[in-house]
Structure 1
Amino acid sequence: MSQQIENTAGELHDARESVPVLQKGAYGAGTLTLNLLPGALGVFSFFLITAFGMDPFLAGLLGGLPRLFDAITDPIMGFITDNTKSRWGRRRPYIVVGAILSGVFFAMLWQLDPEASQEYNFWYFLIFSLIFTIGNTMFATPFVGLGYEMTSDYNERTRLMAFANTMGQVAWMIVPWFWVLIADPDLFSSQAEGVQQLSLFVAGACITLGILPGLFCKGIDASDMGNRAEISFKTIFSNLKEVFKGIKQVFKNKPFVRLCGATFLVFNGFQLVASFSFFIIVFHMFGGDYGATGTWPAWFSTVSAIVTAFVVIPVITWMANKWGKRNAFIISTAISIVGYGLKWWGFDPSNPWMIFMPIPLMSFGIGGLFTLMMSMTADVCDMDELDNGMPRKEGTFGAIYWLMVKIGQALALILGGLVLKVVGFDPGAGAQSVETITNLRLADIIIPASTALLAILVMWKYDLSEEKARAIKQKLIELRGEL
């Protein structure tokens, strides 16, 4: 079917401009799944130590080794989905199967036996982590790629990602309460039972929501897309060469490299201090009394997600449509820096309600990051098609982009512990010194503010403007004719 329409002025338009609400909702459900799985994984992993008796060093290995495996599987899956030929399209079959496998193996992953030996639980968890990673990669990589190709319109891409990320924030409204639920003796007889049972509900939700984009969302019509590699066991080695060739082409795309660099900085800075707020609330505001602290940390995270979803993302979408995506990113990131600074006055022991004061400004950082970067990566895919031809490489771009996110997250976990050690923080102690708390609070502000400032500098010369993106789109329509 023709993918182009000609108006009375003779200008060519792509038919894939407006995304129906049903498809936006389905893609949003997939985004919720994309956030819920790693969010739940992060909370549950804490209980490897407390509920299942895992040595902290071994628990760290169990968190890090699957991320290294991700570095291999993500680009390969990106290449596979870019070059797949099927009656259901390049992405949708993998999304459905991957969502089911992700949910099943996530549930199995957490059916550890607290009475089993540490060695048994280590190998059980590691093996199922690697299997879960394969299933999750099969879901996540084509899912991200599908979002890049659902619309060709410059502003509709931002609206789609804003809608999806608003639904995705629901995961971060829910996840902080897992801590409360798992530790509640009225719900579960032990933390181990809490993890085991709660993982089943998470798995069921992820399967149910994760298959929706595979069933209802539509990407580009790739039935006549040429130059695709053959995907089979016979072509494994030749395809590996093509994988590396595709990665090389991706990293030659200067606007995309800037997107990856800025994302790495903002997300890494945010994640590096993510746990600091919890410690500051407990030890600075409540003197180390966990009972008095209660649910304040959970409410802090939940309110952050609510403000991001229903206040920040709509404002950022408006800014992007009004002033362009690059300018919207710079403005929103600058606003977040002000928010980080306000945390110094927000964490006030005399008034716990003040912790919510910096949230509206802080939330512009992460809220703007994924809404705008996902939209801009879709623009970059058009640029790559013009430069390198078919097949379009949304899967490869998505895999590399999210690989940068995962590397940043892994690095943040390592450096976060190092920062805690440098400031002299002892989470096992009942109280911390004034100097330690002061240094921790300064790190909680300076680190994310500094990385956000560096991200602004990286994006300052980002030159894929709306005018340039629309010119590329017109040229592609002329070159494609019919897809």
Structure 2
Amino acid sequence: MENINALKPRPTTTIDKVPLFQKAAFGSGHLVNNLLPGALGVFSFFLITAYGIDPAIAGLLAAIPRFFDALSDPIMGFISDNTESRWGRRRPYIFAGAILSAILFIVQWQMFEENGSTYNFWYFLTFSILFIFANTIFSTPLIGFGYEMSSDTKERTRLMGIANSVGQVSWMIVPIFWVLIANKDLFDSQADGVRTLSMYVGFACLFFGILPAIFCKENDVSDADSKAKITFKELKNNIVILWNNIKNMTKNLPFMRLCGATFLVFNGFQMVASFSYFIIVFYMYKGSYEMAGTVPAIFSILGAFATAVLIIPIVSWLANKYGKRNAFIISTFISIIGYILKWWGFVVVDENTAVLFNDVVLQIGVVKFSLEMPIILLLPIPFMAFGLGGLFTLMMSMTADVCDLDELRNGLPRREGTFGAVYWWMVKIGQSIALALGGLVLSLVGFDAGKSVQAVETMNNLRIADIIIPSLTAGLAVWIMWNYSLNEERVSKIKKELQERRAERKMKLNK
């Protein structure tokens, strides 16, 4: 690792500090950014069981909108980077996008079984594509907004830490949707549950989604002369500019390292994300969904809770004490320990297994939620949480630093929106690949969800894959980041040079 003593603490100036209220408002946007895709993932399962859509067709309904998503993200990033308005270049899109996303999320789920699978297919596909565009209008400027809220490298980490902690609340809520939708005391049918819950999700996202646009302050250092003209007349020229911007990003080695490390850590985790559910049900509880109960949901909720409350603050402290690269390496190594500990955490449950909150049931109205949890299953959770908890807190902060390097090399306008779009585009593409490979691994180990009892060899192989895959990808990510060169001292020098360059530019314009 680099010389830690070289990373001397530099006080954050008042102008670089983001007030806590603004950090919380920005975090509320990240809550929406997590809640919408999380709810979409749960609700999409019921396209098959509640609306009778063929599984292969349901797969198309998930895949086709992603194609439009991949195309629209960089375009929206470019548009927001080059927008000139009295309200700023990000806030109008965040405000409008939050409203449109919320409305379209609700509308896309207002389907009825009696309309038939063909009608429901086209209805859902149409509104899914519209929802994807609306969500892009919201989320892409939001990500770019976060990169420009402070020019201080340490304050960026604090901002992203709070934003990701707030965002984790979504992953404490999403697993509960499974319990609510299937509750016959609440809803007449699963379809009724989906329709109703989509309204609650939509209205919550509308409220929290507009808060960054209202309360967060933009810090746009780009002047109008440096920005492309966003008109249909300039469409061809703008496409060329966007393409050149993306090519320049591929030459930005620190950014490519961030993208590569994120691709490996996140998608290694995603590839095996469903394995924990299958291992809990088919190994720990011997194929009994009834006995497993809410254990898989609580396992996920506790992971999100530990990430938000415990891990992200620790990672933020590590980053500002020892440097972001070092914090990433440390947190990723700790996550590998967590993956390995799953071998001892996932145990066959019998009468001798120590259970936390045995026979304790939380009841809210007519909803009953069992809190039973094998104590040993808690073992890997805080260690594993360092993986994603460290990843996005640090990578989003480091991407903001990369935007400084890009301005130094390529000038204005600042391209935070485009960087954010390209970064998350790679995440989304990787996620699609990871989900496909996860299914392939399940097939290779011989797993058959139609059987209540799986072969011992199958479950052992699945448990080994559940450990080796994310550990290997995390190790490769550490290797990629080992020579990451954009440390805190270099970022401080770039910041100073940019300030001098901007001052000179301002003087010339005022003459």
Q: Normalising to structure 1: TM-score of the pair?
A: 0.96
User: Where does residue 233 of structure 1 map in the other structure?
Assistant: 232
Stretches of structure 1 that go unaligned for 5 or more consecutive residues are: 1-10
Aligned 8 A contact 2:22 2:215 in 1: yes
Q: Distance in 1 between matches of 2:172 and 2:439?
A: 25
Q: How does 1:19-418 map to 2 (within 5 A)?
A: 19-222=18-221, 224-350=223-349, 351=353, 352-418=374-440
Q: Distance in 2 between matches of 1:306 and 1:290?
A: 24
Aligned 8 A contact 1:13 1:477 in 2: no
Aligned 8 A contact 1:81 1:90 in 2: yes
Q: Secondary structure at the match of 1:112?
A: coil
By how many angstroms is 1:115 displaced?
2.0
What amino acid maps onto 2:379 in structure 1?
A: M
Aligned 8 A contact 1:27 1:212 in 2: yes
Q: Distance in 2 between matches of 1:264 and 1:110?
A: 31
By how many angstroms is 1:222 displaced?
4.4
Q: Distance in 2 between matches of 1:363 and 1:13?
A: 29
Q: Distance in 1 between matches of 2:184 and 2:416?
A: 47
Q: Distance in 1 between matches of 2:403 and 2:223?
A: 18
Q: Distance in 1 between matches of 2:111 and 2:453?
A: 33
User: Where does residue 476 of structure 1 map in the other structure?
Assistant: 498
Aligned 8 A contact 1:85 1:223 in 2: no
User: Where does residue 462 of structure 1 map in the other structure?
Assistant: 484
Q: Distance in 2 between matches of 1:52 and 1:178?
A: 17
By how many angstroms is 1:437 displaced?
0.8
Aligned 8 A contact 1:89 1:222 in 2: no
Aligned 8 A contact 2:222 2:414 in 1: no
What amino acid maps onto 2:116 in structure 1?
A: S
* C-alpha distance after superposition, 1:100-158 (max 9, x if no partner): 11111111111122222222111111111110010000000000000000000010000
**Equivalent residue pairs, number:** 473
Q: Secondary structure at the match of 2:227?
A: coil
Aligned 8 A contact 2:447 2:454 in 1: yes
Q: Distance in 1 between matches of 2:340 and 2:13?
A: 45
What amino acid maps onto 1:466 in structure 2?
A: E
Q: Normalising to structure 2: TM-score of the pair?
A: 0.91
User: Where does residue 358 of structure 2 map in the other structure?
Assistant: none
Q: Distance in 2 between matches of 1:226 and 1:311?
A: 45
Q: Distance in 2 between matches of 1:421 and 1:132?
A: 33
By how many angstroms is 1:373 displaced?
0.1
- Flag the 1:13–1:31 CA change in 2: closer, same or farther, 3 A: closer
What amino acid maps onto 2:215 in structure 1?
A: F
Aligned 8 A contact 2:12 2:155 in 1: no
Q: Secondary structure at the match of 1:54?
A: coil
* RMSD after superposition: 1.5
Q: Which runs of 4+ in 1 moved over 6 A?
A: 11-15
User: Where does residue 371 of structure 2 map in the other structure?
Assistant: none
By how many angstroms is 1:322 displaced?
1.0
Q: Distance in 2 between matches of 1:117 and 1:283?
A: 34
By how many angstroms is 1:13 displaced?
9.0
Stretches of structure 2 that go unaligned for 5 or more consecutive residues are: 1-9, 354-373, 507-511
Q: Secondary structure at the match of 2:278?
A: helix
What amino acid maps onto 1:439 in structure 2?
A: N
User: Where does residue 430 of structure 1 map in the other structure?
Assistant: 452
* C-alpha distance after superposition, 1:244-286 (max 9, x if no partner): 1111111111100000000010010111111111111111111
By how many angstroms is 1:239 displaced?
1.3
Aligned 8 A contact 1:30 1:209 in 2: yes
What amino acid maps onto 1:144 in structure 2?
A: I
Q: Secondary structure at the match of 1:267?
A: helix
**Larger CA deviation: 237-246 vs 180-189:** 237-246
* C-alpha distance after superposition, 1:383-434 (max 9, x if no partner): 0000000000000000001111111111111111111111111112221111
